[in-house]
Homo-oligomer: A and B are copies of this chain.
Amino acid sequence: MELDERKKKILQAVIRNYLETGEPVGSRTISKYTDLNLSSATIRNEMADLEEMGYILQPHTSAGRIPSDKGYRLYVDTMMEEKEREVVEMKEMLVERQDKMETLLKQVARVLAQNTQYATMISAPQTKRNKLKFIQLSRVDEKQILVVIVTEGNVVKNNILPVNDGLSDETLLKLNILLNTHLNGLSIDEINLGIISVMKQQAGIHSDIVSDVIDAVAEGIRAEEDVEIYTSGTNNIFRYPELADQQKASELINTFEEKHLLGEFLQDTQAEESGTGIQVYIGAETPVRSMQDCSVVTATYELGGGMKGTIGIVGPKRMDYDKVVGTLRTIQTQLDELYRKD
């Protein structure tokens, strides 16, 4: 059977209507609110075909039709039109430039959740392949030194190390020079045993401190490995009855609390990377089990300097894809404009 123009129009009408109301939509509705000028009987025949083809389905024999995952997919791939109007409105919701990455991401998550009425998650940009820019040891008191590590993206990590023997200011200065000359500009992968042993040799009696510092650097990176994730609007899921029953709501909320699950997802999606950086996962397409009944739209964003992170919007399968994609695109541009100069 072929999916001719008329069938497409009907499918689109069914989906549009279902997105709005959340109720199964019947033949009569389509017949009335469509410019096709066909009787409900004809629509019924067409809908039977569409069902056979797998684009829509009936919750039970005498109900209207709802889109199947396959139907949504077709809609998203070929029939969606971004809502310009919504996009414009969104512009008002400004994201302000923030010095702290954390503040920025929290703000973006909040603004998006408020604007879309769905749940949002956002992963901090990866520093993984970033280069070391600056290392500094300073004495904090007799028994402790502070290690500060700055990477290319101006991400700062610090770590306090206990130290047994009192180090003189001079030694500290020497160590600082040693560390910086050897390590600056290197990415984490490039710090190999060779470099480490050379440094240890040059450090002489203080070689153990060098080890400690290297460990601290490694840890700083490893800590970054399980990426920071910020979420917002979790409780928006209660707006959608199909997600709000105890079982599902509880699982979803748990997922949003145990952020590591989200982390994997966001990172993988970033790796896949489509043309615009925007991807749509419908129902079972999401790799996260608790989101089987949701759809997720993700967008990769960039903060200049090649620092990329991912934003995800989680809602019911009948989410307003048009609006969400538009909104995400707006945010992408805003972030890009705000941080391009870096």
Contact = CB atoms under 8 A, between A and B. Distances in A.
B160 A99 contact: yes
A79 interface: no
Interface string A124-152: 00000000011010101100101010100
A288 to B, nearest CB: 15
Interface in A229-253: 231-235, 238, 244, 246, 249-251, 253
A29 interface: no
Contacts of A154: 140, 144, 160
Contacts of A223: 100
Given A144-B154, A146-B156, A148-B138, A249 B257 contact: no
B232 A238 contact: no
Nearest to A254: B235
Contact of A238 (B99, B144, B235, B249): B249
A158 B223 CA distance: 17
A334 interface: no
Interface residues on A, range: 20 to 34
Contacts of A231: 257
A249 B234 CA distance: 11
A140 B146 contact: no
A26 B114 CA distance: 47
Contact of A234 (B156, B159, B232, B253): B253
A6 B66 CA distance: 63
A146 B148 contact: yes
Contact of A134 (B140, B232, B233, B250): B140
Contact of A138 (B136, B160, B254, B257): B136
Interface string A94-132: 000001100000000000000000000000000000000
Interface string A196-210: 000000000000000
6 contacts: A99-B160, A138-B148, A140-B154, A154-B160, A156-B158, A235-B251
